[in-house]
Chain A
Amino acid sequence: MAAKKFMFVNRKAPYGTVYALESLEVVLISAAFEQDVSLAFIDDGVYQITKGQNTDGIGQKNFSNTYKALGDYEINKLYVEKESLEERGLTQDDLMDLVWEDEDDDWAEKPSIILVDRSEMADVMAEQEVTLSF
């Protein structure tokens, strides 16, 4: 059976609720099923992949490094909505440097983050076969 296009839509901040952490658990499991997986980061979800997260003060696990491992699981299409960044005073420089290694190109390191505007995000979502929203 051909791989299906799965998209995980992340809308919530990384802490405050457990949605982001439990979403990431689903994403990691999905990697074992050899599907065509992509992630979307919209609204407060863009905070999930910001640099320099520090949870010392809230007594919770800082799981932000897990996003850096996604490339190793061939999850390398992370669509980030420009407007969501702008509305929060963020730019791509505030995001972690998330990359993957392309085995078809001598393991060259390539960026996983794809910046798209709101209407492009809608187009990407429309192409999906299974969209799970968190």
Chain B
Amino acid sequence: MKFTIMINEGPYQHQSADSALQFCRAVLAQGHEIFRVFFYHDGVNNGSSLSVPPGDDRLIQKEWSELSKENDLDLVICIAAAQRRGLMDEDEAKRQGFESNNMIDGFRISGLGQLIEGGIESDRTVVFGD
């Protein structure tokens, strides 16, 4: 079965960011396909490269980044939500005239149409939020 996953909450503040990660792992372990993972609202913060939790805690963003590399996942961050919250990749930072960027490897920035396309193309769309 083909899944699209939507994540609407940021890391640490809400369980849903962890639950989504665990759900994606379970989906893949059972041999299903993940068409796309779409990050919206504060969920865009799951793509930040600048999180430094205490050493004995999980680093959620890195776990996403690694899961993406291992499984060639399409992790998409909504551009409008990301711009509001100060999250940007290299190209977007340049375009906005910033010297630095803060998106971790494995994510890409795109528009809300990618979410709708995910809904159309997938057998199931699962939302993780508050």
Residues of A within 8 A of B (CB): 1, 4, 6, 18-19, 22, 25-26, 29-30, 32-33, 35, 129-134
Contacts and interface: CB of A to CB of B under 8 A. Distances in A.
Of A4, A22, A33, most buried by chain B (CB within 10 Å of CB) is A22
Contact of A32 (B40, B113, B129): B113
Given A25-B112, A35-B119, A133-B127, 4 more contacts: A26-B112, A29-B116, A33-B116, A33-B120
Contacts, number: 48
A25 B80 contact: yes
Interface string B106-127: 0000011101110110000101
A29 B41 contact: no
Contacts of A1: 120
Interface of A is mostly: mixed
A30 B116 contact: yes
B93 interface: no
A133 B40 CA distance: 12
